[in-house]
Structure 1
Amino acid sequence: MSENVVCTGAVNSLKEVWEKRIKKYNEDLKREKEFQLKLVGIWEERVSLTKLREKVTREDGRVILKIEKEEWKTLPSSLVKLNQLQEWQLHRTGLVKIPEFIGRFQNLIVLDLSRNTISDIPRGIGLLTRLQELILSYNNIKTVPKELSNCASLEKLELAVNRDIRDLPQELSNLLKLTHLDLSMNRFTTIPPAVLNMPALEWLDMGSNRLEQLPDTIERFVNFRDNPLKLEVTLPPCESIDEEEERELFGLQFMHTYIQESRRAGNQVNCSTTLPNSVNADG
Structure 2
Amino acid sequence: MPKGKAAKGTKVTLKIAKKAIQMTPDGWRRLTLSNMGITIFPKCLLKLSNVDELDLSRNLIQKLPDNIGNCLSLRWLDLHGNKLESLPESIGNLVGLTHLNLSNNHITSVGLPSTLGSLTNLKSLNLGMNRLDTLPLTMVTLKSLQELGLFDNLFTELPEFLKFLQNLIKLNIKRNPLSYVQGVAEGMLKEKLKPEEAAYLVHESSLCRTCHKRYKEQRERLIRGTDRGGGGSNVFQEKGIRTYPGLIVPNSVATVSQDVWRVRKVEHEPIK
Say whether the fold is shared (TM-score over 0.5). yes
Displacement of 1:94 in angstroms is: 1.1
User: Residues 234 and 209 from structure 1, CA distance in 2 versus in 1: closer, same or farther, beyond 3 angstroms?
Assistant: closer
CA contact (8 A) 2:129 2:152 kept: yes
Q: With structure 2 as the length reference, what TM-score do the two structures score?
A: 0.63
User: Residues 217 and 210 from structure 1, CA distance in 2 versus in 1: closer, same or farther, beyond 3 angstroms?
Assistant: same
Distance (whole Å) between structure 1 residues aligned to residue 119 and residue 98 of structure 2: 8
Distance (whole Å) between structure 1 residues aligned to residue 166 and residue 12 of structure 2: 46
Q: Does 1:183 align with 2:150?
A: yes
What is the match of residue 159 of structure 1? 127
Residue 54 of structure 1 aligns to a residue in which SS? helix
Matches within 5 A, 1:1-283: 48-59=13-24, 60-143=26-109, 144-162=112-130, 164-215=131-182, 218-219=185-186, 230=194, 233=197, 276=251, 278=253
Displacement of 1:219 in angstroms is: 4.8
CA contact (8 A) 1:169 1:194 kept: no
Distance (whole Å) between structure 2 residues aligned to residue 200 and residue 141 of structure 1: 25
Could you say what the CA RMSD is over the residues aligned between the two structures, in angstroms?
3.3
Distance (whole Å) between structure 2 residues aligned to residue 123 and residue 147 of structure 1: 6
User: Residues 100 and 218 from structure 1, CA distance in 2 versus in 1: closer, same or farther, beyond 3 angstroms?
Assistant: same
Residue 33 of structure 2 aligns to a residue in which SS? strand
What is the match of residue 34 of structure 1? none
Distance (whole Å) between structure 2 residues aligned to residue 66 and residue 189 of structure 1: 36
User: Residues 181 and 234 from structure 1, CA distance in 2 versus in 1: closer, same or farther, beyond 3 angstroms?
Assistant: closer
Q: With structure 1 as the length reference, what TM-score do the two structures score?
A: 0.61
Q: Could you say which structure has the larger radius of gyration?
A: 1
Identity of aligned residues (%): 29
CA contact (8 A) 1:71 1:94 kept: yes
Equivalent pairs, count: 195
CA contact (8 A) 1:165 1:186 kept: yes
Q: Which segments of 5 or more consecutive residues in structure 1 lack a partner in the other structure?
A: 1-45, 223-228, 236-263, 265-274
Displacement of 1:97 in angstroms is: 1.7
CA contact (8 A) 2:144 2:167 kept: yes
Greater RCO (Cα-Cα under 8 Å, separation 6 or more): 2
